[in-house]
Chains A and B, each alone.
Chain A
Amino acid sequence: MAVRIAVAGGKGGTGKTTLAVGLARAFLSTGEKVSLLDLDVEEPNSHLFLSDLREVNRRQVISSLPAVITEHCVACGRCKEFCHFNAIVVFDKATVLEEFCHRCGGCVLVCPERAIVEKEVVIGEVIKAVGRGLELVSGWLEVGQANPGPVIREVKAEQVAGDWVVLDCPPGSGCAFVESVEGADLLLGVVEDTPFGAHDFRKVVQVARNAGMRIFAVINRYGMGNGDGVKVCEEEEIEILAKVPFSEAAHRALAQGGDPYSVSPDLKGILDWIRDALLERLER
């Protein structure tokens, strides 16, 4: 069985993508088969650091959106009454407000006139790219679509070959994050050593704990904060696998899309260290 590692942080910009891509490379360098899933479908970025991959497949994510057949609608208001998301307004006819609709299909079921049907709409894309033994599957939410959930699910449903599956998760601690980590074997937190990083990571930990996941942490930009990130891990009894010091040189290289595994020997060493620690903890 493949091991699924969810890389998450809560706060945005803590280095999730850097660690996810870097760790995937580190596993790859020991001859392991690795797949990387970019689940931050609102703003996917993993591909920016893997510019040498070649796209092999691209498919659309389709969802159904209710549409009112106006000739059949008698404006009885049942659909509006049912909809829990206030996504239907009824004047002389019913109208669906696309931005609010969660595509539950309820209005179609309740309409006594069968005046609501579902039409298909594209809500995103799943793109697969391969190269240097690595497989990357990224999800792209169509801009203007509100709900990333179905696109995240589609990325996760993609058949992947890796024995190690690294999940680059979205920021936050809401539904997109929950969808992303669901089914993961362990959560690797990328935590900024600041009050912000600590506060946001705590929420992530709660979700992961509820799901019964093992949790490890990496402190990023160590030395730039007040120590709260380390403190929160100690309080939550989460093992810190590495403390990555802030390096201006690495920062500059990564900002320009450098591959985390090759921008600096120090960073490479840390990524190898984290990989080995995970192998050991998982008794692989």
Chain B
Amino acid sequence: MRPKEIVVVSGKGGTGKTLITALLASASETKVICDCDVEAANLHLLLKPEEVSSQRVRLGMVARVDTGACKGCGRCWKTCRFSAIEERNSRAYVIPELCEGCGVCALVCPRPAIEMVEEETGDVLFGQSEWGEILYAELLPGRGSSGRLVSELKGRARKRAMALGCSWLLVDGPPGLGCPVISAVSGADVVVLVVEASLSGISDAQRLLPLLRRFDVDILGVANKCGISEDLDRQLEGWLEEESIPLVVKIPFSPDIARLYGNAIPPKDLVDISALANRIQ
């Protein structure tokens, strides 16, 4: 049977996605855990996997100029949509951080002096933790292909979960609502929407929801850091109700939870998410 794919997202960063994912991991018997926040992977710091194996992956391309062959005609820098080629000393110069690897410069170069070469994207890591198998990835700083790394990582995690006959594939999603989030959510069965009970937390979740609605997924709500103001709690709950998203777990704001978490200790005894686990089952 295909494992149920559960993706935890929130829009805003630092709302408790990783915490919820970790606690969900402890609540299920058979699962593979996958951290799709490849630009800022944190779950492994909490779950502390052992015997981690790592593999460098190349998923993108980058333009390389042969300055000997380049005549400085300028077609490439005039055509590049990403301002990734400049004129330096009358020759083309590629700014690798901005290059998307589209190959248009190589296409328009009459010499040809530009070659597209594979670029290292990052590392995919795999380890065993007390809580289950975990796959995560570290994007090389500044690389542009985080969405592709997310897809690659999730593909591997899916295969692994299938092979092991797991009932769950648990995914810690990235923040925001761009490419990495789209890659993380696509294929999900259940999305856990973590809403922080703050003005920015609510506003970011509200912006994310229309994107989630484009996918055929069940959405379950978790409210985190509640009790700061009655007003915010009411606003949060009212919104979820309006959107017919069940509020399954409410976690109060507590410096004790934050302190434990800040020391990379999962606050298992302080947060009860069994209702969420049951609901997903």
Contact = CB atoms under 8 A, between A and B. Distances in A.
Contact of A48 (B200, B211, B262): B200
Contacts of A171: 13, 39-40, 175-176
A144 B41 CA distance: 24
User: Which among B41, B42, B201, B262 has the greatest number of chain A C-beta atoms within 10 A?
Assistant: B262
Contacts, number: 205
Given A12-B14, A171-B13, A203 B39 contact: yes
Interface in B202-224: 203-204, 207-208, 210-211, 214
Contact of A43 (B207, B214, B225): B207
A173 B40 contact: yes
Nearest to B43: A196
Contacts of B61: 84
A88 to B, nearest CB: 13
A146 B179 contact: yes
Contacts of A174: 38-39, 139, 142-144, 146, 180
Given A10-B40, A105-B79, A194-B264, A257 B199 contact: yes
A110 B141 contact: no
Interface string B78-96: 0101110000000000000
A172 interface: yes
Contacts of B142: 173-175, 177-178, 206-207, 210
A204 B141 CA distance: 7
A47 to B, nearest CB: 9
A275 interface: no
B259 interface: yes
User: Which among B100, B101, B142, B144 has the greatest number of chain A C-beta atoms within 10 A?
Assistant: B142
Contacts of A252: 228-229
User: Which among B38, B104, B264 has the greatest number of chain A C-beta atoms within 10 A?
Assistant: B104
A225 to B, nearest CB: 4
Q: Is the interface of A mostly helix, strand, loop or mixed?
A: loop
A12 B207 contact: no
A11 B81 contact: no
B13 A256 contact: no
A258 to B, nearest CB: 9
Contacts of A144: 210-211, 214
Nearest to A10: B40
Given A109-B107, A256-B231, A43 B175 contact: yes
Contact of B262 (A141, A226, A251): A226
A14 B258 CA distance: 12
Range of interface residues on A (Cβ < 8 Å): 35 or more
Interface string A130-165: 000000000001011111110001000000000000
A147 B148 CA distance: 12
A224 interface: yes
A106 B76 CA distance: 12
Contacts of A178: 97-98, 142, 144
A11 B199 contact: no
Given A146-B182, A175-B146, A256-B231, A84 B103 contact: yes
A228 to B, nearest CB: 9
A200 B142 CA distance: 12
A143 B144 CA distance: 20
A251 B42 contact: no
B263 to A, nearest CB: 5
A148 B38 CA distance: 17
A40 B11 CA distance: 11
Nearest to B106: A106
The 7 A-B pairs at the shortest CB distance, nearest first, are namely: A12-B13, A13-B14, A172-B39, A104-B102, A225-B262, A42-B176, A255-B198
Given A145-B178, A195-B264, A255-B201, 10 more contacts: A12-B15, A43-B175, A84-B61, A84-B103, A144-B210, A147-B178, A171-B13, A174-B146, A174-B180, A224-B259
16 contacts: A14-B13, A82-B107, A109-B107, A144-B210, A147-B178, A174-B146, A177-B142, A182-B97, A182-B98, A194-B261, A196-B45, A199-B42, A200-B39, A211-B97, A246-B255, A246-B258
Interface of A: 10-14, 17, 40, 42-43, 45, 48, 82, 84-85, 99, 102-106, 109-110, 141, 143-149, 153, 170-179, 182, 192-196, 199-200, 203-204, 206-207, 210-211, 221, 224-226, 246, 248, 251-252, 254-257
